[in-house]
Amino acid sequence: MRTVVFLWLISAATLITPAGGASQNVAAGPGRIAGLVQDEEGKLLANVAITIRSEADSAIVTGALTGEDGRFRVEGLATGRYLLRVSLIGYLSRNSEVIELTTASASKDLGAIALAPQPVELGRLEATVERPAVVVEADRTIYNTKSMAVAETGTAIDVLRAVPELEVDVNDNVKLRGNQSVALHLNGRPAPIRGEQLANFLKQLPGNRIARVEVMPNPSARHDPEGMGGIVNLVLADDLDLGLSGSLSANASTRNRQYLYGRLNYQKGRVTLFTGMGVNTYENVSTTYDLRQNLIAQPLTMIEQNARSSNESFGWNGDWTVEVKVGERATVWSNAWMYSNGSDANGLIEYGILDEARAVRDRYDRDNVSDYSYGNYNFGLGFKQVFQPQKEEFTIDGRFSNGSNDSHNRFANLFHMLAGQPVELPIELTLNEIEAGSGDLSVQADYYRPLLAGKLELGYRAWKRDQDNDNLLRVFADPDAVDPREQRRSGYAYDEIFNSLYSTWGRTAGKFGVQVGVRAELSRTDFASRVGGASFDRAYNTLFPSLNVSYTLKPGRTLRLLYSKRISRPSAYYLDPYIPATDPLNVSIGNPDLRPSYTQSISMDFSWIGRRATLRLAPYYRSSTDVWERIRTVDTLGVATNRWENAASAKAYGSNVTVGLPPTGRLSGSVNFSAYHDERDGSNISSAYRRDAWMWSFGANVGVKVRPSLTTQVNAFHFPTQSILQGRASGYTYTSLSLRQQLWGTRGSVSLSINDPLNLYKYTSSTRDPTYIQNSRSSYESRVATLGFTFNFGKPPQQQSRRSAAEQTGETIRVR
């Protein structure tokens, strides 16, 4: 269980009062709330943050800090109903019952309030007090989606694009800090799907299912070390209520993209249940153009490809979480999430083989029709025993998932010209059938308790991941032929087994906080090809250390130093040396000698919270070995072969700067700027493969509260031209505009969003080596207008089920 120490500050200076414990009057009312704060041993606590909120809408009313004598006093309150919160770094926060001030009883003294120590991980820095848009913790930055209007109408991909630190490229790959791929987690566990399946899942997951996005560039040792760029954790919304509640959401867009989603929440006695299910449709159209010049053929030739494709899909997704309290401090829980998706794709590629003067030698069309089906079913079962709340706890959970990724592809080649002369030839037919599956099985146990004035966590995880693939390619001379002219079959079975033992220890002492950890991992992989009996197995035994250190310069000013070591493991597709090619001019083969890539990263982080804005400066340095690079070469026949190779090294250093506005006013949002220097050394592959360049990116999101119930939000991200190992890739710009109108208080909303309103999402690249030069461009019809509607029934959600340590509080403060 992750350990956390709260560093909670009030961002509006009008809410922070001088030492002495009295607040300024906030109204001409007769109300007064007072009390005294101490630790469990009776020691008086100074500079404790006291926040007063309205019970009706949770809006901040005022606040105070306790004086040296531990006392606070808030005066000038109007009669009404209030909630009070008490917070201090190193202690468990506490919330009060409803405090009702009336004319007859306008003064409340809460007496002595005891805070329990929480000497855990590093400090937490919140941008605002209530439901902050951005929270900076020891090893992560948390973005709450409640402030993102795009979450109401968009998908998970749209939500990730709205996060300032993240980059989502044209292929829906999520990247961070210098264009590094990240590992995606769901509710704190690695997603059991990767690659294209993961992108499809994110495109059909409704954005309003995500409660928050946690970005961890340097995760601690307790987390799985997969992903060179760190971890992005999607925390799904699991609200519950005392009784029955739920919601219904529906979206419709201009490009045949719609979804209908419903949720049901129930809690009574010892049982808690929340579940949901949805259906969706999706349509996408794209165009690409490639011109490749063969530099080693005599005479020189060029290959031109002009392609257009469309894709229509239908899918469903569902989830559940069930919790049963089986004792005073014991809970059994089960959760699951499932999704299935089927799609039909149609495409046409026009090929031209040109001579040096660009006269046409050969020309043919390649028509393709494909059916795809994806699916994954993930189930978990767990148990939690609390020996002493927030001091000694034990959890164990097991998880099983099963997935499939099947496709049936039909390619028809129609020749129009050969050797410069028109021809009439039969249509050549190619059929490709792929059946692929994956499975995951894991068990994880965590135990933590106090040790040496800090908190020690011990954990163990056993994980087995397997993949299998069967690939059949048949080529027929014409569509009526009974027997194929050519037939090739390939496939593989790939098993990975990991055993990890990890430990972290953290404590705070005054202004200092420290958390150290180490993860020992024993892993074994087994690859068996169905072609020729080829097989190999390898073992990787690695230590993954982590270090987080923080220092609070003064309230609202925190400096952190973070270090971690991570790994990227190649998937079976990257290793398979026998991949049948459906396009004889473009071939991909795996590399069975491909090694994992290791990355060591160190970063600093300075956070400053002011009354009107927040500032975050995060310089970093990252060094990687055996970096994967997709290398393309062209032979004398013009055939391009793509193969993954291990480049010697890659280094990057730079900084992120984020400026944010508190979401409590009419104007909110943030601006993120990143600049970094990227060095890539692939000289072990070819002396020509070296790159050294400066790059940058820019992102911003701005929200305006037009009225209390009407909000508008604009998101924009720009990534300029970048240097890659074999050439250059263009930049790209993505924007979105959203409006959200609350209805019936908080019971409903209607939203309108427009993705890429200026139709700027395009991509070009230029790659080369001694064998070829290729220029490419592509565009996606990403401009989409979406109208969404949400209705909530039952009581508003009042709490979350298994809250993270960052959200946990002590016992409720009783009001006498």
Burial annotation 666-677 (CB, 10 A radius, 16+ → b, else e): eebbbbbebebe
Residues 165-209: tens digit of each pLDDT: 777 765 677 877 655 678 888 877 787 666 666 776 777 677 877
Mean pLDDT on 434-440: 94
Q: CA 223, 226, 228, 230 torsion: positive or negative?
A: negative
- The pLDDT value given to residue 165: 74
Topology, domain 243-330+340-393+412-801: Maltoporin; Chain A (2.40.170)
- The pLDDT value given to residue 197: 67
Q: Cβ contacts of residue 459 below 8 Å, gap of 6+?
A: 222, 444, 445, 446, 447, 500, 501, 502, 503
- DSSP E strand stretches across 389-511: 392-418, 421-422, 428-451, 454-476, 486-509
Mean pLDDT on 738-744: 88
Residue 804: pLDDT band (50, 70, 90) is very low
Burial annotation 683-712 (CB, 10 A radius, 16+ → b, else e): eebbeebebeeebebbbbbebeeeeeeebb
Residues 256-282: tens digit of each pLDDT: 888 898 988 887 778 888 898 999 998
- pLDDT above 90 covers what percent of the chain? 40
- The pLDDT value given to residue 352: 95
Residues 101-158: tens digit of each pLDDT: 888 888 999 999 999 876 444 333 333 334 456 666 656 778 888 767 677 777 788 7
Residues 328-366: tens digit of each pLDDT: 889 999 989 898 999 999 999 999 999 888 899 999 999
Least confident of 76-80, 83-87, 428-432: 76-80
What CATH code would you report for 13-118?
A: 2.60.40.10
Measured CA to CA, the distance from residue 318 to residue 205 in angstroms comes to 10
Each domain of the chain, given as residue ranges in start order, spans 13-118, 243-330+340-393+412-801
Least confident of 21-30, 162-171, 580-589, 750-759: 21-30
Q: CA 580, 585, 591, 596 torsion: positive or negative?
A: negative
Angle at 431 between CA 426 and CA 434, to 5 degrees: 170
Predicted structure pTM score? 0.77
Structure tokens at 208: 């309003």
Least confident of 177-191, 499-513, 525-539: 177-191
User: What's 198's DSSP letter?
Assistant: H
> 797 pLDDT exceeds 70?
no
Residues 712-723: tens digit of each pLDDT: 888 888 888 888
Q: Which residue has the higher pLDDT, 10 or 468?
A: 468
Mean pLDDT on 32-56: 86
Burial grade of 545 (CB within 10 A; 0-12, 13-18, 19 or more)? middle
> 664 pLDDT exceeds 50?
yes
> 803 pLDDT exceeds 50?
no
Burial grade of 517 (CB within 10 A; 0-12, 13-18, 19 or more)? buried
Measured CA to CA, the distance from residue 629 to residue 601 in angstroms comes to 20
Is 691 within 8 Å of 657 (Cβ atoms)? no
> 807 pLDDT exceeds 70?
no
> 644 pLDDT exceeds 60?
yes
Is 89 within 8 Å of 42 (Cβ atoms)? no
- The pLDDT value given to residue 398: 96
Structure tokens at 102: 């009336």
Highest mean pLDDT among 62-66, 242-246, 321-325, 493-497: 493-497
Q: Same fold for the domain at 13-118 and the one at 243-330+340-393+412-801?
A: no
Measured CA to CA, the distance from residue 93 to residue 87 in angstroms comes to 5
- pLDDT above 70 covers what percent of the chain? 87
Please report which residue ranges of 541-670 form alpha helices under DSSP H. Answer: 572-575
Q: Which residue has the higher pLDDT, 125 or 304?
A: 304
Measured CA to CA, the distance from residue 681 to residue 661 in angstroms comes to 40
Helix (H), strand (E) at residue 202: helix 195-204
Angle at 119 between CA 381 and CA 96, to 5 degrees: 80
Residues 381-401: tens digit of each pLDDT: 999 999 987 689 999 999 999
Query: Could you please report the per-residue DSSP string of 114-183?
Result: EE-B---SS--EESSSSS-SEEE-SS-EEEEGGG-THHHHSBHHHHHHTSTTEEE-TT--EEETTTEE-E
Mean pLDDT on 746-775: 88
Residues 79-109: tens digit of each pLDDT: 888 889 998 877 888 989 889 888 888 899 9
Q: Cβ contacts of residue 456 below 8 Å, gap of 6+?
A: 448, 449, 450, 503, 504, 505
- The pLDDT value given to residue 136: 64
Output the average pLDDT for the chain. 84
